[in-house]
Structure 1
């Protein structure tokens, strides 16, 4: 007898097939024909500033534990992307923030993610939350570029710099030539 539960693909109540009118293999319930769609996850976060300083967080969890990132993470059911970004800032940096506007939407199909990033202002003091080893406010020149956790962090910071003094701008997307990083 095993202590492991079957993975979803091993469960005898489901089969892999292409549902009628679809073009992809999906998990389908053998009893009721329910289609179990597996869709990308949404990550939400923000480039948080206080004057000329930018909030960064050193990750306390994998992936990329010990590397620096922006406050961001997976959305929870029942919350808006803005609420998710505010929650992530509280969880990672004990920070209260005010969302300014949408900064960018990044597609990362390689890991089945859509990342939605905002510009935001810091409204409180900061301290490491349970997912951060350290948090700090840094000047642009002090960003530890070689120690950033993910390409999308670099993109968001770069796009923030391009829009920093603009009140109106089109939201950014994946930079040209970054396909190898996302597929």
Structure 2
């Protein structure tokens, strides 16, 4: 262990006074220490950052042009420079390796790698979407392509494989209208997380003016939403969006909203209305899905329900009206 620790440090001599370093106990472990001035070298893991970019249901991968794992495929990623944040590094690496200008959507996860004879590190991985550029092989890459969940090539690193396994699992989720049994499951979820007391989810299945929508993974309800239709003015209310905690960050809420918009259109709705507290992360999900802010009520929720009681109302226009009120 002592030899391995000295191997992994870039310093053999004290960077302050030049004295050869020796191993001494500092804290709970041996560390390289200068016996002359007491300087301690901390062997911190290297930090890398990258993105998982989805384009039309397919994930962007680059084929590595350098070792380690030359010729294998991976997500656009690389080490964070000293003068940049993890977010900046993820955006830079995606442009350098895959030619895409991206905006980050969410933190997908932090993955540890290395150990043993390998230097340890952590990969900070973000979901992102392309806003410019052109998909092409760039810095240190032989190729850049998109792959469907069922056609992934051999992946270079375990951290990338873990992330892609979760992505593929999320893309296997099915979106559909709920059965009565699934309505009972949603009611149990509602009770567990204390959304709204007394809501009758079976009524959303039985009443033609409502729809209960579920996201299902291998017969398990992992998310849900509901719609209420108002034929008199051609609107539909999108009442709730919920995703089970262990399925979050993988775009399921966005796909559930997209499915809700499709169902609303099938029912003849022109506009879908949603509301969200100003301090709730779901607000950004609605905005990224294409909703626009159309109003607010500054005292809407009970003070105990949210840190702020202001509600923003959002609209998604499924059909545009001409000045005379016709399509």
The answer to whether the superposition gives a TM-score over 0.5 is yes
Shift of 1:19: 4.9
Partner of 2:66: helix, strand, or coil? coil
> Of Structure 1 and Structure 2, which has the larger fraction of its residues in strand?
2
**Rounded Cα–Cα distance in structure 2 between residues aligned with 1:82 and 1:13:** 38
**Rounded Cα–Cα distance in structure 2 between residues aligned with 1:45 and 1:73:** 6
**Number of the residue aligned with 2:19:** 13
* 2:144 paired with 1:135: yes
- Contact 2:112–2:159 (CA under 8 A) maintained in structure 1: no
**Rounded Cα–Cα distance in structure 2 between residues aligned with 1:29 and 1:106:** 32
Structure 1: gaps of 5 or more residues: 1-6, 170-183
Shift of 1:10: 6.8
**Rounded Cα–Cα distance in structure 2 between residues aligned with 1:84 and 1:143:** 25
Q: Give matches, 1:24-63, under 5 Å.
A: 24-63=29-68
* 2:128 paired with 1:120: yes
Structure 2: gaps of 5 or more residues: 1-9, 171-249, 255-280, 283-327
With over 3 angstroms needed to count, the CA separation of the structure-2 counterparts of 1:151 and 1:24, relative to structure 1, is: same
- Contact 2:22–2:35 (CA under 8 A) maintained in structure 1: no
Partner of 2:93: helix, strand, or coil? helix
* 2:102 paired with 1:94: no
Q: Give matches, 1:147-162, under 5 Å.
A: 147-161=154-168, 162=170
* 2:74 paired with 1:69: yes
**Rounded Cα–Cα distance in structure 1 between residues aligned with 2:13 and 2:142:** 38
**Number of the residue aligned with 1:164:** 251
Q: How many residues align?
A: 160
Provide, for residues 108-153 of structure 1, a one-character-per-residue CA deviation record: whole Å limited to 9, x for no partner: 2514111111111122312111210000122222221xx1101111
**Rounded Cα–Cα distance in structure 1 between residues aligned with 2:34 and 2:112:** 30
**Rounded Cα–Cα distance in structure 2 between residues aligned with 1:158 and 1:75:** 24
**Rounded Cα–Cα distance in structure 2 between residues aligned with 1:113 and 1:64:** 17
Point out the structure with max Rg over C-alpha: 2
- Contact 2:94–2:100 (CA under 8 A) maintained in structure 1: yes
Q: Answer 1 or 2: higher relative contact order, Cα 8 Å, separation at least 6.
A: 1
- Contact 1:103–1:159 (CA under 8 A) maintained in structure 2: no
**Rounded Cα–Cα distance in structure 2 between residues aligned with 1:40 and 1:104:** 16
**Rounded Cα–Cα distance in structure 2 between residues aligned with 1:45 and 1:91:** 11
**Number of the residue aligned with 2:203:** none
**Rounded Cα–Cα distance in structure 2 between residues aligned with 1:23 and 1:17:** 13
Q: Which moved more, 1:78-87 or 1:106-115?
A: 106-115
